[in-house]
Structure 1
């Protein structure tokens, strides 16, 4: 099982965009530093594969589609074959598609951890939502733990009738990279900039921010909005966007864009615990986010009155963003407090230690005990 005395973890991952791949890359990097033998199954031709290799993982090909379809049976067979070849001590499946395929392939025969990173049934309605909930209720019996990134995400699963062994492990960020700018390297005098980092899709709610933007411009006429990311909604939103909005596209490193910003905004409709606000706060950037899973748990308690707004509410979003853009001392103080909070609670090394503790309980091994002590 554990090759050469090293605990072997197989991560299975489908998405290439958004925060989940960044979470997995950071986690794999910390596990590799601790001495784990980390293997990641993902699409081999995407930039994610290169990032994972640099982080210390061995990448094996898994060309899964984003959504279930006729190809699901072959994807499940490929997972089963992969597990037979890799012989992991534990399988860690990330997000809905990987969780579906891994649990169908393994059915409890290998210690399995499923991490939804936001419930898939939040994204659909009606009969599809009911079917998705039913699958999660059934699939829970084929995993040893369901890891939620926020207590709110766990409550949503419990409210949906999912009976599981739960673990809440918040996301973390690499604080050696995401930190305040050096003195003299901060934001120079220029028009105020709002940055939104996320996949351009219905979930992340950039359309709500675009609806709010004309009201922001009435209060702060020279403000600029940068949308960092790509996705299925880009073409439509770009064609109808109001003035002073720049579509940056996908980037390999979000840090330079955070350095350009005065405020980060993420108007999501659902989340588990979004990564972009944590990264922004770690750089001393104030944030405005919607009141979805993980948001309240991410923010310093004193920030919730201004930094937390209802989903799908352009008016509230515009008011909070406008107030921050118009008040530089307030932004500075909120950014300072956010940085202290992020560094106290959202260090990726703490996240990695918690995951290693979980692995030790799910698949006890002298190897994982030794390696966990290095994290």
Structure 2
């Protein structure tokens, strides 16, 4: 097959870009895969002939809408050159709407993947809701990375939804002199919906324990001003394996998560997780097995106390490795290929 992926892609960062990077690597073992992404970027040398871009203004709101309309024209031009079998758009909103408009121009089948904030945030905005609902109704197939998101997609107009979770990339720790397996860790963007302030308050209850914050964002300065001495801010880290190697526990206090991949990344290195009982998080944290979930702050403190007990921590970490091993990118690619075959008949 000759496939056109549409969405954020390296050198862009973020969850969608990481998802696409891993999925494309697997699919390229059997198919020719091209990507259309937001420009301007400099593609990686090994794939520069397969990565196409649309230059859009770096202005929130205008950027996405520009991509929707300019991207659809670019897709039509690329199709005349490469003759794609299908379009697969990632993130339901303006990105997927580029696929909808391109489908009308080319007649190509359109597959969409919902990743999280598209259905939990974009769909709540006036114009965003139009893009989301139109995309879901016009797609030939819709994929969601969690059952939580699948229900959201159905409520917004998707006819049917196939749940295909994310895979877990192999994480490596470079080692070194840093002490390992001692810290309680937060990994994620420092934004309101991730609730990093909850993590800072948690650190005040465990003054003898090191707390690590890996990530950056608009809340960083305020968080640093409110943090006790046992909290270290590491900034954005590409290799989270190094951070997790120094961790005994991951805490994910997010108020919404379309999937929560960092839970599985931690589990893959034997680090159990505590996560808020919302969205897709309970799909990944098997209660009292690879971690614990919470609702209120007192329940969070109790969960952390339980999982810091060495014997409980080791047992949860061992189960976590087993859970994470079931989420491979090879398996994800095979299931996505099944959707492609169904769409193409």
With normalisation by structure 2, the TM-score equals: 0.85
Alpha-carbon distance in structure 2 between the residues aligned to 1:135 and 1:129: 10
Q: Tell me, in whole angstroms, the C-alpha distance in 1 between the residues paired with 2:297 and 2:147.
A: 27
Is 1:98 aligned with 2:103? no
Would you say 1:350 and 2:331 are equivalent positions?
yes
Output aligned runs, 1:57-72, within 5 Å. Answer: 58-64=50-56, 69-72=61-64
Gaps of 5+ in 2: none
Show the counterpart of 2:116: 118
Q: 1:27-59: per-residue Cα shift (whole Å, max 9, x none)?
A: 111111x23111122245568x44xx6589822
Q: What residue in structure 2 maps to residue 213 of structure 1? A: 203
* Aligned match of 1:370: none
Residue number in structure 2 paired with 1:243: 229
Q: Do 2:136 and 2:153's aligned partners in 1 also have CA atoms closer than 8 Å? A: no
Residue 98 of structure 1 aligns to a residue whose secondary structure is helix
Instruction: Report deviation, 1:250.
Output: 1.7
Counterpart of 1:203? 193
Q: Is the 8 A contact 2:87 2:109 kept in 1?
A: yes
**Are the aligned partners of 1:43 and 1:64 in contact in 2 as well (CA < 8 Å)?**
yes
Distance 2:185 2:47 in 1: 27
Q: Is the 8 A contact 1:191 1:223 kept in 2?
A: no
**Aligned residue among 337, 341, 345 for 2:323:** 341
- Please give the per-residue CA displacement for 1:317-345, whole angstroms capped at 9, x wherever unaligned: 222123322x11111110001111221x2
Matched, 1:8 2:2: yes
> Which residue number corresponds to residue 80 of structure 1?
72
Tell whether 2:35 aligns with 1:40.
yes
Whether the 8 Å CA contact 2:259–2:281 is kept in 1: the answer is yes
Per mean C-alpha deviation after superposition, the further-off stretch among 54-63 and 313-322 is 54-63
1:73 CA displacement: 4.9
Aligned to 1:371: none
Which residue matches 1:271?
A: 257
Q: Which one of 288, 294, 301 corresponds to residue 309 of structure 1? A: 294
SS of 1:357 mapped into structure 2: helix
Deviation, 1:77, is: 3.1
Aligned mates of 1:204, 1:256 — CA distance in 2: 21
Alignment match, 1:153: 149
Q: Within 2, Cα distance between the matches of 1:44 and 1:264?
A: 34
> Residue 167 of structure 1 corresponds to which residue in structure 2?
162
Aligned residues: 337
Question: Is the contact made by 1:12 and 1:42 (CA closer than 8 Å) also made in structure 2?
Answer: yes
Determine whether 1:141 maps to 2:137: yes
Distance 1:56 1:169 in 2: 28
User: What is the distance in 1 between the residues matched to 2:292 and 2:57?
Assistant: 36
Pick closer, same or farther for the CA change 1:322–1:97 going to 2, 3 Å: farther
Tell me how far apart the structure 2 counterparts of residues 120 and 236 of structure 1 sit (CA, whole Å).
27
Residue 321 of structure 2 corresponds to residue 324 of structure 1:
no
- Output the aligned Cα RMSD: 3.1
Could you list the per-position Cα deviations for residues 130-167 of structure 1 after superposition, in whole angstroms to 9, with x for gaps in the alignment?
65445433322221111111112111232x34232311
Counterparts of 1:261 and 1:55, CA distance in 2: 35
Question: SS state of the match for residue 252, structure 1?
Answer: coil
Shift of 1:272: 1.6
User: In 2, distance between residues paired with 1:244 and 1:228?
Assistant: 14
Distance 1:122 1:77, change over 3 A: closer
Mind listing any 5+ residue stretches in structure 1 that lack a counterpart?
A: 1-6, 365-375
Q: 1:187 to 1:9 in 2, by over 3 A?
A: farther
Contact 2:88–2:110 (8 Å) recurs in 1:
yes
TM-score normalized by structure 1? 0.79
**Whole-angstrom CA distance in 2 between matches of 1:257 and 1:86:** 41
In structure 2, the CA distance between the partners of 1:257 and 1:273, relative to structure 1 (3 Å rule), is same
Structure 1 residues 82 and 131 mapped into 2: Cα distance closer, same or farther (>3 Å)? closer
